[in-house]
Amino acid sequence: MLQPVSIYPSKSACSSCNLAELCLPPDLTREELLKLDELSTLKRTFSRSDYLYRSGDKFRSLFAIRSGSFKTQILHEDGREQITGFQMAGEIIGLDAISTDIHACEAVAMESSEVCELPFNKLEALSREIPSLQRHLHKIMSREIVRDQGIMLLLGSMRAEERLAAFLLNLSQRFATRGLSGTQFQLCMSRQEIGSYLGLKLETVSRAFSHFQTEGLINVKVRTIEIINLEGLRASLNHSR
């Protein structure tokens, strides 16, 4: 699942690497694009359940996901773990480590995946030279903050089915952005992982899936999802307690 896609095909001058989000600044010169390209020479591949980095690792680079997908999770000392996100092609991962130069969470491949390593020192140097790259880097970090706060809203004030609806709609939207179907897709994570992300137990996730199916909102066959009634799903987001 999750085939490699260039999100911004028209701007994909970056040959060595699909820099995706990083390629967004719209006003780069040919020369600047070349410099960006030089930055991202290291490409690495991962198989399912390989670690991209672990909590406690020294921070050196951000990573641009070229293909595949990862999960990021925090571990509490007493064994609890919380998945903080599922990242897919075109997204930048590792931002949390800038703060202390130590990775605060760990990133695990959900399937065969490729990343481009972006040495952060070089990225900072380049962004001092290219204001639009600087602004773009800031936007990426800010976007992560906004995303995280959205999840706080979800975890703090939504009921189980609302959380799952929000999750499915978010996936749908991200697949669509990548030129894939927004209504039919494969999940690459287990019920347990979805539950960890949404603050629910796996049985609750399973029941919510079943309920959406009996309501005629979706078809579920284990990890194959078909959204039948997108509007209905959206509506089920607004039933507050």
- Positions that interact with a second copy (CB under 8 A): 74, 76-82, 84, 95-100, 104-105, 124, 127-128, 131, 134-135, 137-146, 148-153, 155-157, 196-199, 238, 240
Residue with smaller CB distance to DNA, 58 or 80: 80
Rg (CA), the chain: 19
> Between 44 and 63, how does the x/- string for binding to DNA read (CB under 7 A)?
--------------------
Contacts of 231 (CB under 8 A, 6+ apart): none
SS3 state of residue 104: coil
Two tokens at 72?
């990021």
Among 4, 119, 182, 199, binds DNA (CB under 7 A): 199
Residue with smaller CB distance to DNA, 41 or 49: 49
Residue with smaller CB distance to DNA, 133 or 218: 218
Q: Would you tell me how many other CB atoms lie within 10 Å of the CB of residue 153?
A: 10
> Considering only 89-97, 136-144, 202-210, 226-234, which stretch makes contact with DNA by CB under 7 A?
202-210
| Residue 99's binding partner out of a second copy, DNA, none, with CB under 5 to 8 Å set by partner kind | a second copy
Which of 150, 178, 179, 169 has the alpha carbon at shortest distance from 225? 169
Q: CB 207 → DNA: shortest distance, Å?
A: 5
Q: What is the spatial distance between Cα 72 and Cα 85, in angstroms, rounded to a whole number?
A: 5
155 in contact with DNA (CB under 7 A):
no
**134 strand-pairing partners:** none
Q: What is the spatial distance between Cα 95 and Cα 109, in angstroms, rounded to a whole number?
A: 17
